[in-house]
Structure 1
Amino acid sequence: MRLVHLSDLHLGFRSFPRRERGWNLRERDLATTFHRTIQEIARHEPEVVLLSGDLFDHPDPPSTAFLTLSRGLSTLRGLLPQVTVLAIAGERDTPFTPADPGPVAVVDALPGVEAAAGAPRAVHLQEHRLHALLVPHRAVLRPPFPELRPDPDARWNILLLRGTPVGRERGAEEDWGNAASLSRLPQVDPEGWDYVALGGGHRHRLWRRHVWSAGSLDRVGGNPWREATEEKGFVLFDLVRGEGEFHPVPGRPVVDLAPVRLDPQAPEVGGRRLREVLEGIPGGIEGKIVRIRLQGSVDAPAAALPPGLLRAVERRAAHLDVRVGPEEPEAPEAGKAGGEGAATGVRLQWQGGGEGAVTLGPGLWALVAEAGADRARMVEALREQNGEAPPDPGVRAPNLRLRLEAPAAIPAGMAGAVPGQVQLLDDAAGLSHLLRRLQDEGQRGGDAQEGSRGPGGGPEAGHISEEGAGNRGEERMTGGDPKLRFRLREARADWVEAAGDLEARTMEWTRERQEADTRLQTYRDRARELRGRLTALEAQGAQAACPTCARPLAEAHPHLVQLLQEEWETVVQDGKWWKRRREQLENRPEDLRELERQTLRLHARVETLSEGGEEGEGTEGRQIHGLAPESGIQGEAPAQGGAALPFRVDRTSLRAAGEFLRRISEGEIQGLTQEVDPEVVQGMTPGDPGLRLLREGGEASLPGPGEAAFLAAALLLAGLQRPAPVPGGRNRVGLMTALSGAEGDLRAVRTLEVMADATLPWPVLVVLPPALLTRCPELFQGTVELLRDDDGRLRFRASPGGVAWIHLHPLPEDSLESC
C-alpha cells in the first residue's frame, strides 16, 4: 500500500514579465513541472495521492490553472484508473470570505477526487480499509479546532492537514510567533496515525518517520533564489513498511551569483568582474533564472557597467534580477516573528461593536475592509487617536477607535524605548503632499518630465550619476580648501587599496561557491541517473537487459542491483557533503564581511569629504533638500518647500528606496535619485524636491500614473530600516496606506512580497482590500478586519497570520532537520 504526497502546486502563479507562447513564463514552468510530476508518480503506481494545499496560487485562479490541474489529474487516472486523489485547501486558495467555498471545492467534483475546502472531512476507502481525515487551512487557522482522531476500525489512518509544526525542535527557540501558548494551537499526536501529510512552507521536511512536509513542486514567490539549493519534488511512502523517500523533480534552474563590486568611475572594471562570474556558471545562464548582486554607491546599475552588458545578459537568461547593495539577510519564515527579542509589544486596541486588542510583533499586519470608505475610516481613526493628524469630519466614524499603546515594560532588544510612547510612521502624512506635487508636475503637459531629460529629449542632461550628484571635481567638492583636498585624496587612496583587497577575497569566495555548485549538481544528476536505473532493474527483474551485452541478467540481476545500490548510496552521501558545503558558502565568511565593513567606512569618509563635510559626520546625518529632517518626526515645521516625512531621507535612504523600487517593478525602474541643481534637471519648478525615477538607459523622470503608491512603499521601507535612533525613545509602527485601493494586481502583490522579504525591525500596518490579502495571506503576522453587520454597524474581528501553526507532540529528541 503506497501513497504519494505532494503540496503547494501554486498553479496560476505568475511572476516576471517574460512570456512564452502566450503564457507567463513562470506560470508555464509550474504547469510543465506538474505534468512531469504526474508522469513520475504514475511510474510508482500508488493507490492514493495526497495534495496538502495551495493547489492554486490564489482563490480566483485563471482558467489556465484549472485546465492544467484537470488535465494532469485526467492523465493520472488514465495511467492509474484505481488511484484516489485526496486534496485540501491551503492559505493561498482559501477565500477571505468564509461563505465562499473557493476553487478547491470545485476540484472535489472531478472524478476520483475527494477534497475539503472549508470544514474538516473524513473519507473512507473501503477497498483499502483506509480512513483519511482532511483538514484544510480554514479549519486550523482559528479556534474552535477540530478533534483529530484516527478510526480504530480502519487498517490505515491518514491525516492530511494544512499546518506547520512549532515547538522545541532541536535547538529551536520556544518563542515561535505571536500565540501566547502552544496549548492554544491545534494538537496533533502523530502516534495515532500511519501517515501525517502536512502542507505549509516550501521546503520539504521529515519531522518524524511518518510525518512529512512535502514542500512546493517548484521555487515560487518573488524570491526563488532563497531556495536555490533546495530540491523540489514529492514524497513516496510505503504504509506497509512504514518508510518514505523524497523524490526530486527537476525544474527551471535558479542561479544566484556572488556579489560583484562596482566602481562608478570605472565601468569597464565592473564589467570585467561580472563577466568573470558569469563565465564560471556551469552550463551558462541560458534559460535560467539569474540574480546578479552588485555592490557600490550607484543610483542605477546600468550606469556603472559597460553599455549594453546587462541587456545582453537579460536576453540570454529566462529572467534577470539585479540587486544593488549589501547581501540581503535571511528573512524569517512566512507568518513568523522576526527573531529573539524582536517583538515590540505594542498593542493595537480598538473600540467599535465591542472592544479588543492584538499585540504587534515586527513584520506586516493587515488592516482589511471591503469598502474603500471603511478603509479610510480605519486610517482616520489611527491618525486621530495617535495624534498624527487632525480628524476629518467627512471620513470620521464617531463609534470607531483605533489606538496604539506601548507596553509598560520594555521588551528585550528595545533599549532606549520609553513606555507608553508610540510613533506612527505614516506613509501619507506628509508624503502624500510630496507625491501629489510630483504628480501635478507630471500632469502639466509633460513639460517638467521633458525638461528632466535635457535638451532634445535625450538622456544626457537627465542622467544622474555619482559625478552629477555632487562629485563634479575636487575644487567644487572641497570649496577650494587645500587641507580638505589633501584629506580627500588620502581617503581615496585608502579606499582604493581596501577595495582591491575586498575584490581579491570576493573572487576567491566566488570560485569556491561555483565549485560547490558544480559538484553538487554533478552528484545530483548522477544520483538521479542511478535511481532511474535501479527502478528499471527492480521493475524488470531477472529479465532486465545487461548494460554491456543486452542479454537478460538472470542470476546476475541481484548482484548488479546491489552494486548500483551501493554506488547510489555513496553518491548520495557525497552529495550531502557538497550540499552542506554549498550552504556554508551561501553567506560571506567573516573575514570578507570585515573587509566590506572596512571598505564601506572608508567610502563613507570619501563621500563625506567629497560633499564638503567634516570627518566623522558620515552620510547618515545629511538631509536631502526639500525633505524634512528629524524635526519632521518631532512635529516641527518642515523645511521651506519640503514635505514633512516622519523619517530622514538622505542619499543612503534614496539608494535603498531605489533598490526596493527596482525589485517592485522587476527592473522597469532602475533606481531613485534627487537632484536640486537646475543645470542638471532642467524644468524644475519652485518647491520641487527633485525626486526622480531612474529608467533604463539612465533617463530620470517623474513618477508615472500609478507609480506613486510604489514610491510611497519604497520610501517607507527605507525609512523603517534606518538605524537612526528614535526621537524620545519611542516605539515605532509603520502605516502603509498606498495600497488601499489596489485589488490584487501583480505589482501590488510584488510590493507586499518585497516588504515581507525586508528585515522590518518594527510592525507595519498595511491597509488593503480583501482581494489583495487573499493573493498573499502568508506574508502577514495577523489581520484586523473591519466588518459591517446586516444593519450597517461597524465591528472589528482579529485573526492570526496567514500561516496556520500546529503543535506536533510529542517531539522526540532526535527530531530531524531539513532533508
Structure 2
Amino acid sequence: MIVAHLSDLHLGFRAYGQVEDGANLRERDIAAAFERASQEVARVHPDLVLIAGDVFDRPDPRPRAVVALARGLEVLRASIPESPVIMVAGPRDTPRRLGDPGALAVFDTFPNVEAATGLTRSILIEKLDLHVCLLPYRAITRHPPALPEPDPRIKWNVLVLHAETGGKKGEGVHVDPTEWSYVALGGEHRRRKIAPQAWYSGSLERIALDPWGEATDDKGFLVTDLESGQTSFRPVPGRPVVALAPVKVGLSNPERIRRRVAEVTAEVPGGIDGKIVRLRLEGAAPRDLLALQGETLQKLKNRALHLAVEGGEELRVPADAWLSAEGSKLLSTAVKKELEQDGLIEEQAEAIVREVTGGGDPVPVKPHGAVTALDGEVPGIGRISASIPPGLTAVLGGGRGRKAVAELLVKLGRTGDPGAVAELWASSEADTLDSMMHRAISAVAESRGLGAVRAALERLDTSEDGGQFPEVGDADERRRQLPGKLIQKDPKKLEKEFRAADSELTKIRADAAEVDGNLEAAMVDWLRERQDAETTLQAYRDRARELRHRIRRMESAGPEAPCPTCGRVLESHYEDVLAELREQWESVIQDGSWWRSRWEQLEMKPPLLEELEGHSLQLHAALETGSERVELLRARVQEMKSVGPDEPVNLSRPEQAVVTALQRVQSARIARATHMLVQRASHFVGRVSGGRILAVSWDGIGVKLEGSEGSLTPVSEEDLAAGQVAIRIAAASLIAAEGRVLATLPVEEPFDRLDEEAQIRTLILVRSVLREIPRIVLFTRGDVVDARPEFFDHVLEVRDEGGISGPVVRPALAGPGRVTFRLPVRPPQAEVMRG
C-alpha cells in the first residue's frame, strides 16, 4: 500500500512584484513546482495521493491558481486513474463566512477526487481495505474540536489534517498515532517526523516572504509504504534561495562595506542571478546601509529576483535593565557625575541635586491600555461586550462601526499617567511622518527617564528665587547673563575621553550579544526538557487511566470478561490476565512517578540559566548607563565646539551648574531615545517594505525614507504608510516592557493603505513583538484576515450599521488548527538528570 503525501502547495502565492508576460514570477514558480510534483507522483504510481491542506494561498484564489490545480489533477488522473486523490482544506483554503465552502470544494466534484472543506469526513475504499479520515481547518478549529476515529474493521486507517503541533496544554485535536497506519500532516513548511508514521511533508516550494530559514532545505513530498512502514522523500526542484554570509560592519567604513558585499556575492556558486537573496550587515547602523545606495545596490537588485538588505538582529534589552524603580537615584547620580566633571561638586550643589531629583518612594508604573475586554455603548451600533485575550486580535467591519469600536478601546485604555507615552498610545490616527517621529521620540525618551529630568528642571525654574534662570533650553543666554565660575576643559582630552567611552560601550555591546546568545540556547534547552518531561508524564497518566479502566471493567465482569487482545471470554485465564494488567499498571505508576519528579524539578530554572539571566541583566544595565554616558560626553564635545576652544564656560552659582548638568542629561536621554528609535524603525520599515525601503533617517526636523538609489522623493502612499506603521510599532515595542508600560496596542490607520504583501509582512512583524506587548488589536477592513486567518489569535466582526439582529461583535474563524499527539510512554533514563 503506497501513499504519496503532499501539503502546502500555496497555489497563487505572489511576492516581490516581479512580473513576466503578465504573471507574477513567484506565482509561476509555485505552479511549476506542483506540475513537477504531479509528474513525479505519477512516476511513483502510488495507491493513494494525499494533499494535506493550504492547496491555495488564499480562500478566493486567482484564476491562474485554479487552473494550476486542475492541470496537476489532470496529470494524475491520466497517469494513475485508479489512485484516489484526497485533499483537506487548510486555513488558506477556508473563507471566513461559514456558509461559503471555498474554491477547493469545486474539486470535490471531480472524478476520483475528495476535497473536504467543512466537516470531518470519513472515506471507505473497499478495494484497498482503506479508511481515510479527513479533518479540514473548520473541523479542527470549532469548539469542541472534531474527534477523529479509526475504523477497527479496516486494515489501513489514514488520518489527514492541517494543523500545528504544540500550543497550550491539551489544546486542539487529540491524536493517538498508534491507532493510525499513517498520519498525513500539513501546516509546517519544513519536513518533519512527529511520531512513528506521523509526518509533515513540508511545502513544495519556499513559500515564506522571507524564506531564509528554509534556504538549505530540500523541498518535495513523501512516499510511504504502509506495509513496511518505510517513508522516503522525493525532491522537487525550485527557485534557489541564498542567505549570503553576514558582513560584519564594525567601525563604519563605507568603502570597506561595499568591498565586502562584492566579495560575499561573488562567492555564491552560480552567482545570484534569478535567485532570492538576503544580504545581512551585522552590527550595522542605518547610516551603514546607506553606504550601499546607488550603483552598488542597484546592480545587485537587477541581477537577483529579489534582494533583501537587513541590518542584523538588535539586542533585546530586558525591561529590568531600563525600567528602574530608582529613576530618581539614577538621575541624581548622573547629575553629580556631571558636576564632578565640571569641578563643581560642592555641598550646596549636592543639596540642590537632592532637592530637585528626590522623589520619595518609587511610584509604581501604571500601564497604558490595561484593558482585557471591550465593554460599553457604541453610538449608532449598540452595546459591546467582548473579551480581548492575549495575542493578536483583528476587529473587522464597516468604516464607521470599526472606528467607533476603536474609539471605545482608546477610551477604556486610558489607564496610565498623562504624558508622551499616553499620547502615543491613544494616537490611532495617521500622522505625518515628521509629527509621528516627534511623538515617538518623546514617548521613548519619557519611558527612559526624561520626565524626571524635566520635572527637576521645572523645580529649579520655580524655586523661591524663581525667575533668576532663563528658559531651561537656552544655555547660551545663561552664559551671557551670569558672570561667575569659569570652567575650562581641554578639547583634545575631552575627545579622547569620548572615544574611550564609546569603545568601552562597543565592548559591552559585544559581551551582551554573546551572553544573550548563550542565554537563548540555554533557555531553549530548558524549555525543551521541561516540555519533554510534561509530555511524557501526560502519556504515563493517560496509560495509567486506560489500564485502571480496563482493570475495573474486568473486575466488574469477572471470568466472563473478554480478552483485551482477541476479545474471547477469558474464563480460566481471567486471574492471570488481571494480574498482568495490575503489574503493568503498577509499573506505569512507578515510572510515571519518576517523570513527575523530573517535571517538578524542571519547573525551577536551572542555576546556569539563572546565572546567565543575571549576567545578561547586568550587561544590559551597563549598556544603558554606558549609552547615556557616551551621549553626555557627546553633548560636552558639542558644547565645547559651540563656545570655541579658548572661550571658558561661565557658571555663576551652584543652581546654574545643576541646570547645565540636567540639560546635558536631558540632551543625552533624548539623543539615546532618538538613536534607539531610528535604529529599530529602520529595521522594521525594511521588514514591512520587503527591503524596498532601506532605512529611516532623521535630522531633528524631518524624516526621510531611504531607498536603494537615495531618499524616496516623492514618497508614495504605500511607502508613507510603511514608514508610519514601522515608527509606531518600533516606538511601542521599545516602551512596552513586556506589558508593564504598554499592555495593549491599537493599530489602525494607515495599515489598510499598505499593499497586500506589506500588510502580511506587518502581521509577521507584529507577531514578533507580542512578547513585549501582550495584546495587539488591529482595526482593518478585513482583506488581510481573509488571506491569513492563521496569523490571528482572535477575530471580532463588527455588525454593519443598520444590522437588525445578532450581537454587535461576534467571533470569527481565526488561528491555526492545533493537534496534540498522545505519545507512547517511555521508561525513565538510566541516570538521574540534573536540573
Corresponding residue for 1:467? Answer: none
Is 1:225 matched up with 2:231? no
**Cα distance change of structure 1 residues 45 and 189 upon mapping to structure 2, 3 Å threshold:** same
Residue 240 of structure 1, aligned match among 217, 223, 227? 227
Cα offset, 1:51, TM superposition: 0.6
- Which residue identity does 1:387 align to in structure 2? R
> Counterparts in 2 of 1:669-708, with a 5 A limit?
669-676=693-700, 689-699=701-711, 701=713, 703-708=715-720
Corresponding residue for 2:321? Answer: none
Give the paired residue count.
Answer: 596
- Which residue identity does 1:253 align to in structure 2? P
**Cα distance change of structure 1 residues 305 and 611 upon mapping to structure 2, 3 Å threshold:** farther
CA contact (8 A) 1:484 1:609 kept: no
CA contact (8 A) 2:107 2:115 kept: yes
CA contact (8 A) 2:376 2:408 kept: no
> Counterparts in 2 of 1:236-275, with a 5 A limit?
236-262=223-249, 266-275=253-262
CA contact (8 A) 2:632 2:664 kept: yes
- Which residue identity does 1:97 align to in structure 2? R
> Counterparts in 2 of 1:173-252, with a 5 A limit?
176-177=167-168, 182=170, 185-252=172-239
When structure 1 is superposed on structure 2, of 778-787 and 51-60 the one drifting more is 778-787
Cα offset, 1:231, TM superposition: 2.9
Corresponding residue for 1:776? Answer: 788
**Cα distance change of structure 1 residues 761 and 494 upon mapping to structure 2, 3 Å threshold:** closer
Corresponding residue for 2:689? Answer: 665
**Cα distance change of structure 1 residues 191 and 673 upon mapping to structure 2, 3 Å threshold:** same
Q: Which whole-Å CA distance do the structure 1 matches of 2:219 and 2:618 have between them?
A: 35
Alpha-carbon displacement from aligned partner over 1:421-459 (angstroms, at most 9, x marks no partner): xx97866617634459799xxxxxxxxxxxxxxxxxxxx
Q: Which whole-Å CA distance do the structure 2 matches of 1:240 and 1:781 have between them?
A: 40
**Cα distance change of structure 1 residues 4 and 311 upon mapping to structure 2, 3 Å threshold:** same
**Cα distance change of structure 1 residues 130 and 792 upon mapping to structure 2, 3 Å threshold:** same
Cα offset, 1:775, TM superposition: 1.3
CA contact (8 A) 1:427 1:737 kept: no
Residue 726 of structure 2, aligned match among 699, 706, 714? 714
> Counterparts in 2 of 1:418-567, with a 5 A limit?
429=427, 432-434=430-432, 482-483=489-490, 485-492=492-499
Residue 372 of structure 2, aligned match among 334, 340, 347? 347
- Which residue identity does 1:284 align to in structure 2? G
When structure 1 is superposed on structure 2, of 692-701 and 282-291 the one drifting more is 692-701
CA RMSD of aligned residues (A): 4.2
**Cα distance change of structure 1 residues 212 and 45 upon mapping to structure 2, 3 Å threshold:** same
Cα offset, 1:599, TM superposition: 10
Corresponding residue for 1:106? Answer: 106
Higher helix share: 2
- Which residue identity does 1:778 align to in structure 2? E
Q: Which whole-Å CA distance do the structure 1 matches of 2:20 and 2:665 have between them?
A: 48
Is 1:738 matched up with 2:749? yes
**Cα distance change of structure 1 residues 616 and 311 upon mapping to structure 2, 3 Å threshold:** farther
Corresponding residue for 1:364? Answer: 392
Cα offset, 1:300, TM superposition: 5.1
Q: Which whole-Å CA distance do the structure 1 matches of 2:820 and 2:372 have between them?
A: 25
Cα offset, 1:704, TM superposition: 3.3
Cα offset, 1:758, TM superposition: 4.8
Cα offset, 1:291, TM superposition: 0.7
CA contact (8 A) 1:621 1:650 kept: no
Q: Which whole-Å CA distance do the structure 2 matches of 1:485 and 1:310 have between them?
A: 38
CA contact (8 A) 1:161 1:198 kept: yes
Q: Which whole-Å CA distance do the structure 1 matches of 2:13 and 2:796 have between them?
A: 26
Corresponding residue for 1:786? Answer: 798
Corresponding residue for 2:138? Answer: 138
CA contact (8 A) 1:12 1:62 kept: yes
Q: Which whole-Å CA distance do the structure 2 matches of 1:808 and 1:322 have between them?
A: 40
Alpha-carbon displacement from aligned partner over 1:355-381 (angstroms, at most 9, x marks no partner): 8654633x4222222x22221121011
**Cα distance change of structure 1 residues 714 and 612 upon mapping to structure 2, 3 Å threshold:** farther
Cα offset, 1:75, TM superposition: 1.3
**Cα distance change of structure 1 residues 357 and 662 upon mapping to structure 2, 3 Å threshold:** same
Q: Which whole-Å CA distance do the structure 2 matches of 1:722 and 1:804 have between them?
A: 32
Cα offset, 1:61, TM superposition: 1.2
**Cα distance change of structure 1 residues 722 and 616 upon mapping to structure 2, 3 Å threshold:** farther
CA contact (8 A) 2:293 2:710 kept: no
- TM-score (normalizing by structure 2): 0.63
**Cα distance change of structure 1 residues 158 and 708 upon mapping to structure 2, 3 Å threshold:** same
- Which residue identity does 1:234 align to in structure 2? F
CA contact (8 A) 2:298 2:708 kept: no
CA contact (8 A) 2:371 2:412 kept: no
Q: Which whole-Å CA distance do the structure 2 matches of 1:107 and 1:739 have between them?
A: 38
Corresponding residue for 2:339? Answer: none
**Cα distance change of structure 1 residues 497 and 732 upon mapping to structure 2, 3 Å threshold:** closer
Corresponding residue for 1:303? Answer: 290
Cα offset, 1:88, TM superposition: 0.8
Cα offset, 1:612, TM superposition: 4.1
Q: Which whole-Å CA distance do the structure 1 matches of 2:403 and 2:776 have between them?
A: 17
CA contact (8 A) 1:101 1:117 kept: yes
Cα offset, 1:237, TM superposition: 0.9
- Which residue identity does 1:308 align to in structure 2? E
- Which residue identity does 1:379 align to in structure 2? A
CA contact (8 A) 2:177 2:822 kept: yes
**Cα distance change of structure 1 residues 759 and 384 upon mapping to structure 2, 3 Å threshold:** closer
Is 1:6 matched up with 2:6? yes
**Cα distance change of structure 1 residues 594 and 18 upon mapping to structure 2, 3 Å threshold:** farther
Cα offset, 1:150, TM superposition: 1.7
Alpha-carbon displacement from aligned partner over 1:393-427 (angstroms, at most 9, x marks no partner): xxxxxxxxxxxxxxxxxxxxxxxx99xxxx97866
Q: Which secondary structure does the structure 1 equivalent of 2:42 belong to?
A: helix
**Cα distance change of structure 1 residues 69 and 724 upon mapping to structure 2, 3 Å threshold:** closer
Alpha-carbon displacement from aligned partner over 1:338-366 (angstroms, at most 9, x marks no partner): xxxxxx996334467888654633x4222
Q: Which whole-Å CA distance do the structure 1 matches of 2:244 and 2:663 have between them?
A: 34
Q: Which whole-Å CA distance do the structure 2 matches of 1:804 and 1:345 have between them?
A: 29
Cα offset, 1:149, TM superposition: 1.5
- Which residue identity does 1:366 align to in structure 2? A
Is 1:751 matched up with 2:762? yes
Cα offset, 1:247, TM superposition: 2.8
Cα offset, 1:610, TM superposition: 3.5
Q: Which secondary structure does the structure 1 equivalent of 2:138 belong to?
A: helix
Cα offset, 1:697, TM superposition: 2.6
- Which residue identity does 1:376 align to in structure 2? K
- Which residue identity does 1:48 align to in structure 2? L
Cα offset, 1:596, TM superposition: 13
**Cα distance change of structure 1 residues 808 and 725 upon mapping to structure 2, 3 Å threshold:** closer
Corresponding residue for 2:342? Answer: none
Q: Which whole-Å CA distance do the structure 2 matches of 1:37 and 1:703 have between them?
A: 43
Residue 795 of structure 1, aligned match among 785, 793, 808? 808
Corresponding residue for 1:374? Answer: 401
Q: Which whole-Å CA distance do the structure 1 matches of 2:425 and 2:376 have between them?
A: 24
Corresponding residue for 1:121? Answer: 121
Larger Rg: 2
CA contact (8 A) 1:691 1:702 kept: no
Residue 652 of structure 1, aligned match among 676, 679, 685? 676
Cα offset, 1:196, TM superposition: 1.3
Q: Which whole-Å CA distance do the structure 2 matches of 1:808 and 1:620 have between them?
A: 56
Q: Which whole-Å CA distance do the structure 1 matches of 2:186 and 2:48 have between them?
A: 17
Cα offset, 1:69, TM superposition: 1.0
